[in-house]
Amino acid sequence: MKRLAQLDSIRGLASLSVVLHHLWQSAPVLPAVFYYSPARIFIGGHQAVILFFILSGFVLALPFLSGKTAPYSAYIIKRICRIYLPYLAALILAILAASLLHNKSESQVGSFFYFFWQNGFSLRLIAEHLTLLTNFNTNAYNTVIWSLLHEMRISLIFPLLMLLVLRRGLVFNLLICLLLNMASAANDIFGLESSRGFHTSYLDTVYYTSFFIIGALLAKHRTELMSLCRRAGQLYKAAGLAAAILLYAYSRLLSDKIHLPFNRVIDDYGITLAVAFFIILALTSAQLIKLLSLNFISFLGKISYSLYLYHFIVFLTLAYTIQPYIPYWLFGLLTLALSILAATASYYGVEKPAMALGRHLSSYVTRPRAGRSALHKAPEAEAVTQQI
């Protein structure tokens, strides 16, 4: 199966926007241009996570759609090696940093940074973090891991979700997504389950499962959608891109201004429409493919998972050490540069060996089945694109 490197690049740009989002959030003076103008797209941290979920569903669905799925045990081994092992390495570093640096006052580091790393070395918290499945306080050491919690939970059941995608039609699957969203909205209204971290409840996972399904549906119907996009004139494509950028940038403005139980669904499905258009355009537009193939953007795609994992550790380490003594612009540049450096080291030192280990271990599961429909040749999701 041909590698879809441009999807890596989209993920890389989204990971970079998460870094910029946290820098913008913590800035002493929030630049209004990033709040009210289409430049919001550059600091869309939440939007990036929705994009990650949809891309994961899209890419994980491809082997199922091609009829070349590996056994469930091999699939799980690869997912654990791909997601959990790099996560574990980052978690160890975050715990060490938090344990060494947490003894600072709020006046020393500022209220935004002080919210994190105040738990120090807590065996109970560490044990909860090691599971990466339960409802725990994800803000304690590395707040961004809340999305990985859902990645792991949903990865466990994704082959079951694909049964629905493969065997039932588009309308049926969209109705399933609607039911999942209604369950989450009911939780928002009635408080059925509380999150101990940032959106870490099991009902939150129910909600985010819908975006994996939508990603899988995009993969299933990609041929028709790509054909439709190719037939559209340049004017229609330009208008669609402008609409997608506006949806991606502004869909959250409603919940920023008015707090209602169903806001999240409205916001996130505006983002979903935008992400769907970005993906299909990235698969069909020669100009966009060329842009996404630029060396730096392509490199961001390779290190995107590690950039997502490590930037907040770098961010807080600098905040608890040198941030009070330097201008904020310098703090931001250092955070960005050191985050990319740490992500590069993690990609080559942890991610690639973890993926190789996953392939090696899963080969023991697939080898006895080599005579059955070439399962040992099945391309796994990470062979197509880098996955969170």
- Return the pLDDT at 371: 46
Over residues 338-387, the pLDDT tens digits come to 999 999 999 999 999 999 999 999 988 777 554 444 444 444 444 444 44
pLDDT digits (tens, 9 = 90+) for 171-180: 999 999 999 9
Q: Assign 3-class secondary structure to 338-376.
A: HHHHHHHHHHHHHHHHHHHHHHHHHHHHHHHHCCCCCHH
d(CA 100, CA 365): 42
Task: Please tell me the predicted confidence (pLDDT) of residue 351.
Answer: 97
pLDDT of residue 295: 95
Q: From first to last of its 388 residues, what are the pLDDT tens digits of the chain?
A: 556 889 999 999 999 999 999 999 999 887 777 888 888 899 999 999 999 999 999 999 999 998 877 899 999 999 999 999 999 999 999 999 999 998 888 888 888 898 899 887 889 999 999 999 999 999 999 999 999 999 999 999 999 999 999 999 999 999 999 999 888 778 777 888 889 999 999 999 999 999 999 999 999 999 999 999 999 988 999 999 999 999 999 888 766 776 766 778 888 999 999 999 999 999 999 999 999 999 999 999 999 999 999 999 999 999 999 999 999 999 999 999 999 999 999 999 999 999 999 999 998 877 755 444 444 444 444 444 444 4
Judge whether 307 and 143 are in contact, CB under 8 Å: no
Cα–Cα distance for residue pair 130/62, rounded to 1 Å: 30
For 139, the 3-state DSSP assignment is coil
pLDDT at 109: 85
Integer-rounded Cα radius of gyration of the chain = 21
The span from the CA of 215 to the CA of 56, in Å, is: 7
81, exposed or middle or buried, with CB in 10 Å at 0-12, 13-18, 19+?
A: buried
Place of tokens 């842009």: 291
